[in-house]
Structure 1
Amino acid sequence: MPRLFSAYVIVDWSAAAKPTTGADSIWIGVLKRDIRFRMAFESFNPSTRAEAETRLNLILDDLRKRGERVLLGFDFPLGFPRGFAAALSLPGDEPWRAVWDQLNKMVKDKPDNLNNRFGVGSEINRRMTGGPFPFWGCPPKDTLTTLQPKRSRPHGPDDLPEFRYADEAAKGASSIWKLYYNGSVGGQAILGIPFVRRQKVARGDGFRAWPFETGFKALTEKDLEGVEVVVAEVYPSLLKPAVAPGEVKDLAQVRTTAEHFARLDEANKLGALFAPPKGTPATVVAEVEREEGWILGAGA
C-alpha cells in the first residue's frame, strides 16, 4: 500500500505580540522527498505570523505543483469545548465552522505581531457570562472587568467544560481558556484558527480539516482522493524529542513529530491514527466531529 501522504509539515505556533525567533517562537518543519526521492527535513523560523503565512503558502504551493499530498499539523486546538458555539448563539449546523468564521471577524493581527487576543477573549466572556469567565490570563496592564490575569473561579456543572475530550485523552494538555503564561494554547488558538481558515478559503475543497470534514475515522487512500492537504491538530509533547546539542527544543519537536508520522505512514499505520481511540462512545465522536476537534494520536 502506498503512503497516504508524501510530505509532512508541522507548525509550532506562537501568540507573541512582537517579532521573535529562537525558543518560544514559530517553527515550521517540512519533511519531504529530495531530488533523489529520499525523505529530507528542513525548517524555518519566521519572526512573525505574517512571515509564517507567506512561508507556508510558498511551501504548500510548491508541494501542490509537485503533486504531493500534505499532512499539515498545528500545535493548537482547531475547535473549542462542546457548547461554545451555542453559548455565543452562532448560526448554522456546523459549530466548528461558525466558530472559525466568528474568530475571523474578531481577530486583528498586525504584520509586527501586535494582536488583540486579550480583547477577543474579553469580548467573548462579556457575551457569554458578563464576567471574567471562562477565558482568563493576561498581563496586568491588559486587565478588564471581563478578563483577569488569574482564573476567577473553577468550572462548575452548569459551565462549559474546562477541557475538550481530546485534552483529557492527551493527559497534560492545557485548557483552551488560558490565554497567557506557559502553555497558553487559548491565545494560540484565537490567533491560529483564522490563519488556518484563510488557508482553507484560499485552497478550497482540496484542503480538508480533520476531523470536521473527513469524519473522526480511519482514513484511506479512497477517502483522500482529490485532497491536497489534510490539516490536523498535533501535540508534540506526546512524543519525546531527541534534542541535539545547541538545538532549540521547538525545532526538535517539529522534526520529531514530522518523522513520527512519516514512519507510521511508511508502515501503513498512519490512517488508523485518524480514528477514535478504541471504546470511544458515539456521543463523544459526534461532539468531536461537530465542534471540539481532536489531537492526532491522543489516546492511541
Structure 2
Amino acid sequence: MPRLFSAFIIVDWSAASKPTTGADSIWIGVLKRDVRFRMAFESYNPPTRAEAEKRLAAVLDDLRKRGERALLGFDFSFGFPRGFAAAMNLAGDPPWRAVWDQLDKMAKDKADNTNNRFGVGAEINRRLTGGPFPFWGCPPKDALTTLQPKRSRPHGPDDLPEFRHADLAAKGAAAIWKLYYNGSVGGQSILGIPALRRLKLARGEAVKVWPFETGFKALTEDALAGVEVVVAETYPSLLKIQAGAGEVKDLAQVRGAAEHFARLDEAGKLAALFAPPAATPPDVVVDAEREEGWILGAGS
C-alpha cells in the first residue's frame, strides 16, 4: 500500500495566559523529507498561539508548494461529549460545526496569549446548569458563581457525559470539562478549536478534519484526492516515547508521535488507524463522526 502522507506535523498546544517557551508551552514537530528525500525532523517552540498559527501556515504553505500531503495532529479535544450542541441549543448541523462556530464567537485570544477561557467555561456553565458545572478548574482569582477552582460534583445520569467515547478508549485522557491544572484539555480545546477553524477556513476543502469530514473509516488515496492536509486529534501519551538527553518532554512527545505515524505509514498500516477499533458499536461511530471526534489510535 502506498504512503498516504509525506509529512507529519504534531502540535502540543497550550492555553497559557502569557508568552512562554520551554516546558508546558507550544511545540510544533515537523517530520518531512529533506533535499535528499530522507525523513528529517525539525521543531519550533513559538511563545504565543498567534505565532504558532503563523508558523503552521508557513510550514503548510511550503508543503503545498512541494505537492506534499501532511498529517497534522493536535493534542486537544476536537469535540464535546454527545448531546452538548443540543443542550446549548446551537443551531446548525452537523453538531461539531455548530460547536466550533459558537466557540469562535465566544473565545477571545490576544496576541500576547491573554485569553478568556475561564470566562467561556463560566458562560457555558451558566447556559447549561446555572451553576459551576460541568466545567471546573480555575485560579482562585478567576472564580465565579458559575466556575469554581474545584469540581463541584460528579456527573449524574441526567447530566452530559463526563467523557467522550474516545476519552474512555484512550484510558487516561482527561475530560474536556477540566479547565485548569495538569492535563487541563478543556482550556486547550476552547482556544485550540477556533484556531483550527481558522486554519480550515483559510484552506477550504484542501483541509479535511478527521473523522468529521472524512468519515470514521480507513483512508484511501482516492478519498484524499485534492486533499493537502488531514487534521487529526492525537494523544502522544498513548505512545511509549523516550525523551533524549536534555530533551524537553513536550518536544520528545511531538517528535515521537510524528515518527510513530510515519513508521506506520511506511509499513502500510496507518490508513487502517482512521477506522473505528474492532467491535465499535454503530452509535459510537455516529457520535464520533457528528459530534465527539476521536483520538487517532485510541482503542486500537
**CA deviation string 1:28-71 (max 9, x = no partner):** 00000000000000000000001101101100000011001010
Report 1:1-300 matches (<5 A): 1-300=1-300
* 2-structure distance, mates of 1:213, 1:276: 15
Which SS does the other structure have where 1:230 is aligned? strand
The one-letter amino acid of 2:250's match is D
Q: Distance in 2 between matches of 1:54 and 1:202?
A: 12
Hey, what's the Cα distance between the residues in 2 that align with 1:207 and 1:61?
Answer: 12
Shift of 1:72: 0.2
Per the alignment, in what secondary structure is the counterpart of residue 28 of structure 1?
strand
Q: Helix, strand or coil: the match of 2:25?
A: coil
- Coordinate RMSD, CA, aligned: 0.5
Q: Residue 200 of structure 1: CA displacement? A: 0.3
Task: Show structure 1 runs of 5+ residues with no match.
Answer: none
SS, match of residue 118 in structure 1 = helix
- SS where residue 244 of structure 2 aligns? coil
1:164-187 deviations in Å (ceiling 9; x for gaps): 000000000001000000000000
Q: Distance in 2 between matches of 1:281 and 1:146?
A: 35
Q: What is the letter of the counterpart of residue 210 of structure 1?
A: W
Which amino acid in structure 1 is aligned with residue 238 of structure 2? L
Q: CA deviation at 1:146?
A: 0.3
Which digits, 9 at most, give the CA deviation of each residue in 1:59-113, with x for residues without a partner? 0000011001010000001000000000100012200000000000000000110
Separation in 2, partners of 1:252, 1:182: 18
User: SS state of the match for residue 55, structure 1?
Assistant: helix
- Using the alignment, how far apart are the partners of 1:178 and 1:195 within structure 2? 20
User: What CA distance in whole angstroms lies between the structure 2 residues aligned with 1:215 and 1:134?
Assistant: 29
Distance in 1 between the 2:263 and 2:65 partners?
Answer: 24
TM-score, normalised relative to structure 2: 0.99
Hey, what's the Cα distance between the residues in 2 that align with 1:2 and 1:64? 19
CA distance in 2, matches of 1:218, 1:250: 29
**CA-CA distance at 1:245 after TM superposition:** 1.1
Question: Residue 189 of structure 1: CA displacement?
Answer: 0.2
- Counting aligned pairs with the same residue, the percent is 80
Unaligned 5+ segments in structure 2 are: none
Which 4+ stretches in 1 moved above 4 angstroms?
Answer: none
Q: Measure the CA separation in 2 of the matches of 1:283 and 1:56.
A: 35
Q: 2:142 and 2:92 mapped to 1: Cα distance?
A: 33
What SS does the corresponding residue of 1:131 show, helix, strand or coil? coil
The letter for the 2-side match of 1:50 is A
Q: Please report how far the alpha carbon of residue 240 of structure 1 lies from its aligned counterpart in structure 2 after TM superposition.
A: 1.3
